[in-house]
Structure 1
Amino acid sequence: MIRTISTVIGSFYIIASATSFAAENVPSIEELWSIVQSQQAELEQLKQELERSRSQTQTVEVRMLENSQRIEAVGEVIDQPGRLRGNSWADRTTIGGYGEMLYNNETSSSSTKELDVQRFVLFASHRFSENLRFFSELEIEHSFINDDARSPGAVELEQAYIEWDYAPNHSVLAGMHLVPMGIINETHEPNTFYGVERNRVESRIIPSTYRVNGIKFAGQLGSGFSYDLDIHEGLFFESGNGGELSIRDSRQSGARAEMDSPAYTGRLRYTGIPGLELGISMQYQGDMTQDGSTRGNIGRDGVIDMQGNPVSDISGLLSEAHVTYRTGPWGFTALYAGWDIDNKIENVANNDLSNNGLGRNKQYGYYLQPSYQINSKLGSFLRLERTNERAGSNSGAAKNSATNRTVVGLNYWLADNVVLKFDYQFEDDDKDRDIDGFNLGLGWQF
């Protein structure tokens, strides 16, 4: 076909030359042949370029098909749980921790000025399979421990449990864990809450950090609802020398814990609206004396009344409700917790037979806390608290036992997991033991 095109073009030039009377220089046959050869070469080049273009197009189409097949293959791998996760021991193990250093200026007593590494916690977890995990936390409080009374420190196992997803959206754990109640008890890393110290309600009424041995079921119910059901060691009252009847000092913390009377905790939460959490929980224990147990090998004295007679069968019910809401820079938190304890506790005495239980059948606390995020680094808050650990009576040692506290302060996040804190507290104690002062804190998590 190329030869035919060349002949036609050549003929055209010959005819054009013969009919052009104005042309003064008519090309020779050799010149015309040269022109035809040049044009034929150009056509051959165009043909080769066209073939190369077709080849490249086909190559692109093949590669697109291959890539599509690869994408589909990757998608199939992604759809298989766990295929993209590492399978080595290191890939399935996580190490972390948190801690805080605090300075208290006349906030625990009118003459106390303290600088303390209050806690340092190491966290380790391991994933055995897609539905079986281990979690643990080991805590050091107040830097060090020894036999010297000047050393208030402790080494404590805060968590150590196995968790198993026995069904979609449902799990069970067994071991040392945190009681599902309130806000701070389960989430208390210093970069996650406002204020240098934890609020008084979730320290004295809910004795955070409230850790126990037991078995807990948890799951999602749909539409933003979740549940927790917990069977665990209970509190252990004893007469002692004065402080042992407080809720906080009655924790067993998994240390050879008495199980004559376990505790039962249930919680229901709603998080179906962005920024909102509603929670309600209850804990019941049939006998907070653990059947009147006395165990000298671990320093448990049992419970006696003012005549020295043993006391048992003191039941207790703890109820708690809270709300947290965040919209834009504004935040709001409110929590109420209260104990209803058998009236027998009012007759409980110390070891010296002086009354220690008066008014302890009713205990409560609540707080309100608005907050405002000034910018991405700086946040402010105001917290109003009221607690009463002997609200069942207003006579004798229980008279004027309520405490009101106002705390205002700032959090400054150096990074998401590192925070500087400042707050000032105004305390109005019904016994006129008001303690006003300020706190500074440095907290971290990794």
Structure 2
Amino acid sequence: MKRFFLLAVTAIICFMPFISKAQEHEINKDQYAGLGKAASAIFFSDKRYSVSGFGELNYVHYPPGGINKNSNDLELYYTNLYRLSGFFGYKISKNIIFNSEIMVEYLHEGSNESHHEIAIEAYLDFILNKNFNARVGLMPLPIGYINSNDEPVLFYSVNRPEVERLIIPSTWIELGAMLYGKIVPDLHYFAGVSGGLNSKDFTSGTWIRNGRPFDIKFPNSVSYNAQLIYNGVKNTQLSVSGYYGPTSQGETISTINGTQESFKANVGVISGYAKYEYDRFRLIMMGTYGRLGDTEKIFELTKNDENGQGEVLGKETYGAYIETGYDILPFFMKKHKSVDGKREKGLFKKSEFELPLFVRYERLNTHSDIAESLKQYNRIENNMQILTVGANFKPQEDIVFKINYQFRNNLYNGSGIKESNILEFGIGFNY
């Protein structure tokens, strides 16, 4: 039963495209290939340039003594987050488009710990035709669901689903090159190479998350990624994606006889999702599975000088979630219609009001399988069941107020850490 959701989602995604009658239907009409809404502005701009972006302000309430800091990643246990992202796009020519992002974020956990970070994206798109295009630079990878939909107006919860923070480390950005386009009218493809992760930064409870490069340093290895997105089923989007490559960026470990030994520590991640939208209803099912090699050597590479123990990484991981939401606002007020199809002006646009309630169930395990020689060592293991219930209020399509409560249960008790339920509040906006 532990992989029920993953197997169910994988089956739906793999077989529906072949048994369903194709119909021309695009769900993400205001999003360009592999990008969020704000990131896509330059591709739909009538001008030669565009300035856009998004922001979010989040607060997380924990019960007294309920903060689990063992992930060593403040983004996973902060109390306050402030994030502002700006995109600048420029059309060098009709077929060559430059796009960039500068994201600034500040996080803190009460008055005890804080962190600020600046992340950059910069890439060129070479647009040839609907079947064949290219993207080169520091860019988001086409994997999972959230990595291409990471702007807060595009997902319900205050924070991104835990499955797509711990198993797929969204937001996942790497230096690389990618081809994309349409194989047939309803089937989109992405295929690329990129620099890869760095295993020396891996931590037990977050799997490969802390190994994301977030820089433009030329890598020592090459990884591969690909995604297919199918829109041929009415009101539905289906996708499969994958990533494979080494995570040792030229690192070596010492052997018993004192020599240095190199290793690859290849990681493979496969993911899929199904998204259905009809009127005021939305359903998303998502699943992912990962494998990591040479975990014993990663243990040696990451040994702490103080206690002599390294990080115990899972050889296998998995995660899945199912989420559904429904806009209940029409039950309480009549839907306001826009005049002549034109968008209203001002902060509050009655024709765009939404009040969706949502519920999401997640199941994930960062240590589904562990190397036999490492089972004796202490580790931070996330073997999680998470139920999230919440609501959004959207006074217009580019602003959202969020609240949700998470019932969290870690089935692994080896670390002696009790997982606390949390209450989250957030505000997100695009501009």
- Residues 130-165 of structure 1 show CA distances to partners (whole Å, capped at 9, x for unaligned) of 211111110001179xxx9944001110x2111011
In structure 2, what is the Cα distance between the partners aligned to 1:108 and 1:237? 34
Answering whether residue 76 of structure 2 is matched by residue 122 of structure 1, we say no
In structure 2, what is the Cα distance between the partners aligned to 1:118 and 1:109? 23
Q: Tell me how many residue pairs correspond in the alignment.
A: 342
Judged with a 3 Å threshold, the aligned counterparts in structure 2 of structure 1 residues 101 and 155 are, in CA distance, closer, same or farther, namely: same
Answering whether residue 265 of structure 2 is matched by residue 314 of structure 1, we say yes
In structure 1, what is the Cα distance between the partners aligned to 2:387 and 2:408? 6
In structure 2, what is the Cα distance between the partners aligned to 1:385 and 1:218? 31
In structure 2, the partner of 1:139 is 103
Judged with a 3 Å threshold, the aligned counterparts in structure 2 of structure 1 residues 342 and 439 are, in CA distance, closer, same or farther, namely: same
Query: 1:228 is aligned with what amino acid?
Result: F
Judged with a 3 Å threshold, the aligned counterparts in structure 2 of structure 1 residues 121 and 245 are, in CA distance, closer, same or farther, namely: closer
In structure 2, the partner of 1:95 is 51
Answering whether residue 207 of structure 2 is matched by residue 254 of structure 1, we say no
Match 2:322 to one of 368, 373, 392:
368
Answering whether residue 283 of structure 2 is matched by residue 283 of structure 1, we say no
Q: RMSD in angstroms over aligned alpha carbons?
A: 3.0
**Structure 1 segment 12-411 matched on structure 2, within 5 A:** 91-106=47-62, 110-111=66-67, 116-142=80-106, 150-157=113-120, 159-238=121-200, 246-257=207-218, 259-285=219-245, 287-292=246-251, 310-345=261-296, 348-349=299-300, 350-352=303-305, 354-358=308-312, 360-375=314-329, 376-393=353-370, 396-397=377-378, 401-411=382-392
In structure 1, what is the Cα distance between the partners aligned to 2:364 and 2:250? 29
What secondary structure is seen at the aligned counterpart in 2 of 1:142? strand
Judged with a 3 Å threshold, the aligned counterparts in structure 2 of structure 1 residues 307 and 373 are, in CA distance, closer, same or farther, namely: farther
Asked if the contact 1:244–1:250 (Cα under 8 Å) also holds between the matched residues in 2, the reply is no
Judged with a 3 Å threshold, the aligned counterparts in structure 2 of structure 1 residues 416 and 172 are, in CA distance, closer, same or farther, namely: same
Query: 2:54 is aligned with what amino acid?
Result: Y
- Residues 101-125 of structure 1 show CA distances to partners (whole Å, capped at 9, x for unaligned) of 0110018971599653431001111
Alpha-carbon distance, 1:221 to partner: 1.4
Asked if the contact 1:290–1:312 (Cα under 8 Å) also holds between the matched residues in 2, the reply is no
TM-score normalized with structure 1 length: 0.70
Q: Which moved more, 1:368-377 or 1:114-123?
A: 114-123
List runs of 5+ in structure 1 lacking aligned partners: 1-88, 293-301
Asked if the contact 1:184–1:208 (Cα under 8 Å) also holds between the matched residues in 2, the reply is yes
In structure 2, what is the Cα distance between the partners aligned to 1:279 and 1:324? 9
Alpha-carbon distance, 1:392 to partner: 1.1
What secondary structure is seen at the aligned counterpart in 1 of 2:91? strand
In structure 1, what is the Cα distance between the partners aligned to 2:112 and 2:381? 31
Alpha-carbon distance, 1:184 to partner: 0.8
TM-score normalized with structure 2 length: 0.72
Q: Matched residues, percent identical?
A: 23
Asked if the contact 1:173–1:217 (Cα under 8 Å) also holds between the matched residues in 2, the reply is yes
Alpha-carbon distance, 1:168 to partner: 4.0
In structure 2, what is the Cα distance between the partners aligned to 1:245 and 1:400? 8
What secondary structure is seen at the aligned counterpart in 2 of 1:97? strand
In structure 1, what is the Cα distance between the partners aligned to 2:126 and 2:49? 16
In structure 2, what is the Cα distance between the partners aligned to 1:382 and 1:183? 17
Alpha-carbon distance, 1:358 to partner: 3.7
Query: 1:260 is aligned with what amino acid?
Result: N
Query: 1:288 is aligned with what amino acid?
Result: T
Q: Which moved more, 1:128-137 or 1:194-203?
A: 128-137
Alpha-carbon distance, 1:395 to partner: 5.7
Asked if the contact 1:107–1:439 (Cα under 8 Å) also holds between the matched residues in 2, the reply is no
List runs of 5+ in structure 2 lacking aligned partners: 1-44, 69-76, 330-352
Asked if the contact 1:390–1:398 (Cα under 8 Å) also holds between the matched residues in 2, the reply is no
Q: Which has the larger radius of gyration?
A: 1
In structure 1, what is the Cα distance between the partners aligned to 2:274 and 2:190? 17
- Residues 172-222 of structure 1 show CA distances to partners (whole Å, capped at 9, x for unaligned) of 011111000111111111111111010111111111110111101000112
Asked if the contact 1:238–1:303 (Cα under 8 Å) also holds between the matched residues in 2, the reply is no
In structure 1, what is the Cα distance between the partners aligned to 2:256 and 2:299? 6
Alpha-carbon distance, 1:399 to partner: 8.5
Query: 2:250 is aligned with what amino acid?
Result: D
Asked if the contact 1:304–1:351 (Cα under 8 Å) also holds between the matched residues in 2, the reply is no
Q: Comparing both chains, which one has the higher relative contact order based on Cα–Cα distances under 8 Å and sequence gaps of 6 or more?
A: 2
What secondary structure is seen at the aligned counterpart in 2 of 1:188? coil
What secondary structure is seen at the aligned counterpart in 2 of 1:238? helix
Asked if the contact 1:346–1:358 (Cα under 8 Å) also holds between the matched residues in 2, the reply is no
Alpha-carbon distance, 1:223 to partner: 3.7
Judged with a 3 Å threshold, the aligned counterparts in structure 2 of structure 1 residues 232 and 400 are, in CA distance, closer, same or farther, namely: closer
In structure 1, the partner of 2:420 is 435
What secondary structure is seen at the aligned counterpart in 2 of 1:264? strand
What secondary structure is seen at the aligned counterpart in 2 of 1:440? strand
In structure 1, what is the Cα distance between the partners aligned to 2:296 and 2:50? 45
In structure 2, the partner of 1:72 is none
